[in-house]
Amino acid sequence: DGDLTLLWAEWQGRRPEWELTDMVVWVTGASSGIGEELAYQLSKLGVSLVLSARRVHELERVKRRCLENGNLKEKDILVLPLDLTDTGSHEAATKAVLQEFGRIDILVNNGGMSQRSLCMDTSLDVYRKLIELNYLGTVSLTKCVLPHMIERKQGKIVTVNSILGIISVPLSIGYCASKHALRGFFNGLRTELATYPGIIVSNICPGPVQSNIVENSLAGEVTKTIGNNGDQSHKMTTSRCVRLMLISMANDLKEVWISEQPFLLVTYLWQYIWGRKGLRTLRVVWMQTLLILKSLRQNMTEKSTCTFQATGGRNGKHENSNLLMLLNNQRLICDFTF
Ligand SMILES: NC(=O)c1ccc[n+]([C@@H]2O[C@H](COP(=O)([O-])OP(=O)(O)OC[C@H]3O[C@@H](n4cnc5c(N)ncnc54)[C@H](O)[C@@H]3O)[C@@H](O)[C@H]2O)c1
């Protein structure tokens, strides 16, 4: 459920319990899902925590649970409301963290949002919002924190990307584009910071993970979300994903892929084989095999309806389109969008 370097680090590498203790860690998107779980696991390591998202009451709830179950005291946790799209507020937020704890050791760029709708059913505002939130919001906060890390010549910038920052799938192309942009930005930033070996720029690329991401996904309009998470049983547990993220941070890994199969295997194929001219046939054969396997599984379980239908897609109107035939017949591609 992780790439080979990550699994090796888990087996033989440094433990988060040794490496991350006493660090000041700022987590965005800490009110839900991966960010919330990250807060709980970090609070057991004895770090100083900054919890950011838009909803203060949700952050206060997370803080209370950190205090109940972790090793932290009230003074170790700062609740700092932050809207990633309000880039004008990021400088002041950074100053507030520095004023409270004196330093920022790790910035975890986790806050973000996804999307479920076909291109022709999606308003441009949705794509704009995804770029403003997932990409520009993250870039903006990083730019505010970076001068401080450069001054200290150390720090970790950890960005929760996605395997959709590596591969692209239908129904979430605005999300994929924003995550591809993030990966390009941070890979380039790492090179720009080559003279600061103490500053680690890390891309975390999870596959499907249990969280509220589907519920909060935009469905064609910025005012419309999917509204429910559907069946999440095929997804990785949030706790396992976060444990692997902490191992990645403890071992300064530059990019990690965290996913169960078949998503991890598909990512490897995409990265190393897919797209090369002579191997297009392999791609089709592979896709068809997955579809058949998925269809067999679906027939046996028949648990939930197609996400595509939930998004109100233009079912039936384009019955001759290959894409819609895939979408209508199988849940594979729907499962692949997270
Ligand atoms: N769950 C998955 O399957 C999965 C897979 C790959 C990557 N990711 C990434 O993980 C990260 C966390 O997502 P999650 O799965 O926990 O989903 P989630 O919806 O449970 O959590 C998203 C968090 O981001 C915050 N957020 C949203 N808009 C914001 C804004 N404008 N300003 C500040 N915070 C904002 C939310 O309040 C929430 O705390 C995202 O970047 C997502 O792209 C998730």
Q: What's residue 289's pLDDT?
A: 73
Same domain, 142 and 246: yes
Identify the pLDDT of residue 140.
98
Identify the residues whose C-beta falls under 6 Å from ligand 1: 28-29, 31-35, 53-54, 82-85, 110-114, 133, 160, 162, 206, 208-209, 211-213, 216, 338
pLDDT, tens only, 218-233? 999 999 999 999 999 9
Query: Is 286 found in the same domain as 180?
Result: no
Q: How many Å lie between the centroid of ligand 1 and the Cα of residue 287?
A: 28
The verdict on 92 and 143 lying in the same domain is yes
- State whether 13 and 99 are in the same domain: yes
The answer to whether residues 95 and 123 belong to one domain is yes
Q: What is the CATH number of the domain that holds 42?
A: 3.40.50.720
Which SS3 state, helix, strand or coil, does residue 34 take? helix
Q: Domain end: 235, 260, 285, which one?
A: 260
Pairwise CA distance, residues 21 & 33, whole Å: 23
Q: Read off the pLDDT of residues 6-31 as tens digits, 9 standing for 90 and up.
A: 999 999 999 999 999 999 999 999 99
Residue 102 is predicted with a pLDDT of 98
222 & 316 share domain: no
pLDDT class of 92 with cuts at 50, 70, 90: very high
- Tell me which residue has its CA closest to atom 2 in ligand 1: 209
Higher-pLDDT residue of 279, 169: 169
Residue 272 designated active-site = no
Query: Do residues 253 and 283 both lie within one domain?
Result: no
Q: Is the ipTM of this complex over 0.90?
A: yes
Asked if the structure places residue 90 within a domain, the reply is: yes
* DSSP letters for 62-81: HHHHHHHHSS--GGGEEE--
Structural domain range at position 311 = 277-335
One domain for residues 251 and 282: no
Same domain? 116 vs 205: yes
Within a domain: 17:
yes
Residue 242 lies in a domain: yes
Same domain? For 244 and 151 the reply is yes
User: How many whole angstroms from 321 Cα to the centroid of ligand 1?
Assistant: 32
Comparing 17-31, 101-115, 263-277, which segment has the lowest mean pLDDT?
263-277
CA–centroid distance, 188 to ligand 1, in Å, is 23
Indicate whether 151 and 101 sit together in one domain.
yes
What's the structural domain count of the chain?
A: 2
